[in-house]
Amino acid sequence: MLRVLQYDGDSDAVSEVSIDEMDFHKLKWLDCYGPNKEEVEEVRKIINIPENEFDRCIDEDERPSVTKLEHFSLIIFKSPFKSEKHSSTTSFSMLISNNLLVTFRRRELEGLSSIWNLEEKSRKKVFKKGTSYIAYQISEKIMDDYFKILDDIEKDINIIEKDVFHNPDKKTVMKIFSLRKTLVYFHKSLSTNRDVVSSIDKEYAEKIDPSQIKNFRYVYDDIVQLIDMVATYRDILTSSLDIYLSSVSNNLNIIMKRMTALGSLVLVPTFITGLYGMNFRFMPEITWKYGYIFAWLLIIGSIIFLFSYFKKKDWF
């Protein structure tokens, strides 16, 4: 999908136009979402950059970087996205020149959309400050997406922390692994994003308006904090896994304890039966009228005694 927002300085208005209506002298934001072949060709004609660089723009797995091109600065970030199974990250490119910003993405990115869909008044304010400022706003919002997803992950972790202790099962572990994988991807993405922002700060992205560079420091601070949060959550997940493993092992041991206790309950009666199964000629109980009942009383008594003893010792 291709769509264009164009800012008319004279009338101070931002309006969505078609590709053909793009005016060279006006400020434009061309958003290129999961483009098909024809759209790719169309865009290529407009921006005219080397083929390999263009391929990098639309490759979802491209590593974040800042690249100098003839007429553009190419900034690639990793943005988070939520899928039904687990969150991950996707590459997202911005081509910035003085009056054209092109964004490439393969997925719906909330952060980008929130800028695109700003109400008229705020949108004018943002566009007035130029392409660099729009790029900054998008970057900022994308980091906000990380914060939002991490908040969700924190909620999941709180549930997991209770589960591993109270009812540990394999599903919990699968959840832990899945979250941990997400966090590893986030860590990788964020640390490369940090390098990108740091490169911008060192003015490697020439088309970024120097007066706007200062803003990117806020993005930098956010990223540093995000990386720290990711580390904290990974830490908690690791210790949750430890607790899970211990819980499982402990539950198993408690079952063993109970079974051993049950077994022990039977051993003493068995001994008693063995006792009166002996063949001695001179055994008073054998010929005693109440011998059999006496044996039963012994057996029942021993079970009751052992049972209450084990109960008292909390062995059941």
295 near its own copies, rule: CB under 8 A: yes
203 near its own copies, rule: CB under 8 A: no
Q: Which of 98, 211, 221, 304 binds its own copies (CB under 8 A)?
A: 221
Cβ neighbour number for residue 209 with a 10 Å cutoff? 16
Beta bridge partners of 4: 17, 30
32 near its own copies, rule: CB under 8 A: no
Q: Which of 228, 297, 301, 311 binds its own copies (CB under 8 A)?
A: 228
266 near its own copies, rule: CB under 8 A: yes
312 near its own copies, rule: CB under 8 A: no
- What minimum distance in Å lies between the beta carbon of 5 and its own copies? 22
Choice between 6 and 73, CB closer to its own copies: 73
From CA 231, how far away is CA 214, in angstroms rounded? Answer: 27
300 near its own copies, rule: CB under 8 A: no
Q: Which of 46, 159, 245, 297 binds its own copies (CB under 8 A)?
A: 245
From CA 61, how far away is CA 71, in angstroms rounded? Answer: 24
268 near its own copies, rule: CB under 8 A: yes
308 near its own copies, rule: CB under 8 A: no
Choice between 33 and 315, CB closer to its own copies: 315
